[in-house]
Chain A
């Protein structure tokens, strides 16, 4: 199939490999992963700093910031997970023919 390729396509493939081999060597190097990690940490720090400024400003006006919504979302997910676990346990017991034991009053 490669033999039937037009010349321009062969040239593109050859150029891509010429550049690609070097790029691939770089993106699999220790330097790249160190840069990636440093970059990720730096951008996270910048984002956190920006968030803390905007949060303070929004709280001044008694408005929720995105971090408040996120925290709420996380709490909701935890509740949902707990509920799902309970529901699964009840279902499993029902499937196995056992009835869930009623909780003793405290």
Chain B
């Protein structure tokens, strides 16, 4: 039976298409001429050293839990992924749940940072940043949440003597570098030498890092642009797409000395898998972490595949204090998208709450 054309529905469809075409034109111009409003949650810089800064976020929601949550960001990407845009921000979500949230941002490395080693981040910056949190929030413990390589730094720090980390959360943090994919394998096997990646500033340039991530799925962008074109009429979609595409192109240089150490120690020796890692002049034993440990990773992560992150559950910390959170989604499931706000972030917040002290009454910020 042939469907009967209803004139009213044809007219409403034409109206809708005309309206969407106008919105597409407007949003297209906006997309091409403006930058996304990223990292917009109000914050104060409470500590800085070299390029590294510690931010404390402001919120109208009182603080309901102690200790404060300190996010330790990765070294090669921008931290605004976790505060992407108003209404779609992991930081905003955690503030809304009553957590006191800090972000340790490493800044943009330049020539002056080329000699930074793992010890610079683990033994110099992190202890001072944690001390600043304790001073600022008047506490003697923290929850450290490390994202990607930030999780490695947080683990190495938490395993040190006399640290005050009550809870340690690893978010898509690689441990088994033999499962990290082809590019890391090429570096491990010596087909790509670390020195060939470094430019005259002594660092791996941001462009090289972008190319590395882009080459994980080089044709994906075509499909993404097509999806953008179809949804260009939708303000919400365009804002989200713009913020996300800005972040995925926005890398920061990787300090050369730290990169060489990551290659020698973590990639070629796969030291995290042995549980013992050399940091400066000492050897860190990951079994010495006394905190509650949550290892959270995503099943469809193509940057840090689940096979690379999963072993942390049996290596870091005391067996009776370890927990695992296997998530749907990809590498950014901690930051953006429906899965992030419906599953990932509520699950992370619930775990933090279960391992924190509730303040009665809540404290005004």
Binding site for B on A (CB under 8 A): 5-6, 9, 12-13, 16-17, 19-20, 23-24, 27-30, 32-34, 36-37, 40-41, 44, 70, 73-74, 77, 80-81, 84, 88
Contact = CB atoms under 8 A, between A and B. Distances in A.
Interface stretch (B221-229, B316-324, B348-356): B221-229
A74 B200 CA distance: 8
A37 B215 CA distance: 15
B215 A12 contact: no
Interface of B: 49-50, 110-112, 114-115, 181-183, 186, 191-193, 196, 200-202, 215-220, 222-223, 226-227, 230
Nearest to B181: A28
A27 B223 contact: no
Contacts of A33: 182-183, 186, 191-192
B329 to A, nearest CB: 15
A13 B219 contact: no
B220 A84 contact: no
Contacts of B191: 30, 33-34, 37
A73 B111 contact: yes
B182 A20 contact: no
Contacts of B49: 88
24 contacts: A12-B223, A13-B227, A19-B219, A20-B218, A20-B223, A27-B182, A27-B218, A28-B181, A28-B182, A30-B191, A36-B186, A36-B192, A37-B192, A37-B193, A73-B111, A74-B200, A77-B110, A77-B111, A77-B112, A77-B202, A80-B111, A81-B112, A81-B115, A84-B112
Given A9-B227, A28-B182, A80-B112, A20 B192 contact: no
B196 A37 contact: yes
Given A19-B219, A84-B50, A77 B196 contact: no
Contacts of B201: 77
Given A6-B230, A24-B216, 6 more contacts: A12-B226, A13-B223, A13-B226, A20-B223, A81-B115, A84-B112
A16 B230 contact: no
Contact of A70 (B182, B200, B230): B200
B196 A27 contact: no
B83 to A, nearest CB: 26
Nearest to A9: B230
A21 B218 CA distance: 10
Given A74-B111, A84-B112, A24 B218 contact: yes
Contacts of B226: 9, 12-13, 16
Give the 9 A-B CB pairs with smallest separation, nearest first. Answer: A77-B111, A28-B182, A20-B219, A33-B186, A16-B223, A12-B226, A33-B191, A27-B215, A9-B230
